[in-house]
């Protein structure tokens, strides 16, 4: 793919407030994790890196939708409320406007498809058979009334051309750079004639900021390894305890 021939791609980061109970649940889990990490020395942090990252992803789930972890949660998550207005704003532009909502969690894909049923959304996630996914793509591309696709990046990251949409909204992300970049490529690819918009919903004072930083960090390292960049930052060389604690306690400062 010759990137020079592609239209411009703009990234917009939107800060979202957590709902009241959601904030309480998030802070409780965050404080427990911060207390544990602070008890580890540097060597232990390296050995426990996978567990730490998995617990950070659980924080990302809480920041996205607590119902992913607690089926009894009934409050409207902050990001869902914010997404209502964002979707209305985009779809008001034109009767032909379509968009994709990306979530790393299948529970969100299902919940959001129900929430936006008036727009006849289709879904793609890993629990669907291949024929079901093919039908979802066909409807999204060919039916004017199907204005939204809600998808999981891991299940739709390769091979799909979805340039009927030029807006991609990420309600959450994990640390998987490949999923993140390739999901963007579903709309930002050859045959796209419009500028593309990537909208990132970032819950205030949460791990979302650290995930955003880490994905950008991985991208920089990949560019360096591929000789697309000739410099590297010292902060990009290791997963260190101070960085993790900073992400937990002061997430908006990288």
pTM comes to 0.87
Q: What does the buried/exposed string (b/e) look like for 176-208 if buried means 16 or more CB atoms within 10 Å of the residue's CB?
A: bbebbbbbbbbbbbeebeeebbbbbbbbebbbb
pLDDT digits (tens, 9 = 90+) for 230-253: 555 555 444 454 566 665 655 554
- The CA distance from 88 to 83, in Å, is 8
Q: What is the 3-class SS of 118-173, one letter each residue?
A: HHCCEEECCCCCHHHHHHHHHHHHHCCCCCEEEECHHHCCCCCCCCCCCEEEECCC
Given a contact cutoff of 8 angstroms between Cβ atoms, the answer to whether 67 and 30 are in contact is no
CB atoms within 10 A of CB 110: 15
Q: Which residue has the higher pLDDT, 199 or 254?
A: 199
pLDDT digits (tens, 9 = 90+) for 145-196: 999 999 999 998 677 999 999 999 999 999 898 899 999 999 999 889 999 9
- Residue 28's pLDDT band, with cuts at 50, 70 and 90, is very high
Q: Which domains does the chain have, with CATH numbers?
A: 1-254 (3.40.50.300)
pLDDT of the residue at 225: 59
């Amino acid at each position: 793919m010759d990137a020079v021939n592609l239209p411009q791609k703009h990234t917009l980061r939107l800060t979202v407030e957590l709902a009241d109970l959601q904030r309480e649940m998030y802070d409780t889990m965050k404080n427990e994790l911060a207390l544990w990490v602070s008890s580890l020395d540097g060597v232990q942090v390296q050995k426990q890196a996978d567990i730490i990252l998995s617990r950070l992803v659980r924080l990302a789930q809480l920041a996205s939708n607590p119902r992913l972890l607690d089926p009894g949660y009934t409050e409207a998550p902050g990001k869902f409320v914010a997404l209502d207005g964002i979707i209305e704003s985009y779809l008001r532009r034109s009767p032909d406007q379509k968009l994709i909502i990306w979530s790393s969690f299948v529970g969100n894909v299902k919940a959001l498809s129900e929430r936006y049923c008036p727009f006849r959304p289709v879904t793609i996630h890993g629990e669907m058979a291949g024929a079901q996914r093919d039908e979802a793509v066909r409807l999204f591309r060919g039916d004017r009334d199907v204005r939204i696709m809600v998808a999981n990046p891991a299940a739709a990251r390769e091979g799909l051309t979805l340039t009927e949409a030029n807006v991609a909204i990420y309600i959450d992300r994990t640390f998987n750079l490949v999923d993140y970049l390739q999901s963007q490529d579903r709309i930002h690819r050859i045959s796209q004639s419009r500028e593309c918009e990537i909208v990132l919903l970032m819950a205030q004072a949460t791990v979302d900021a650290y995930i955003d930083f880490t994905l950008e960090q991985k991208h920089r390292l990949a560019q360096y390894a591929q000789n697309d960049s000739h410099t590297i930052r010292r902060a990009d060389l290791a997963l260190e305890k101070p960085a993790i604690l900073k992400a937990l306690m002061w997430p908006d400062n990288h």
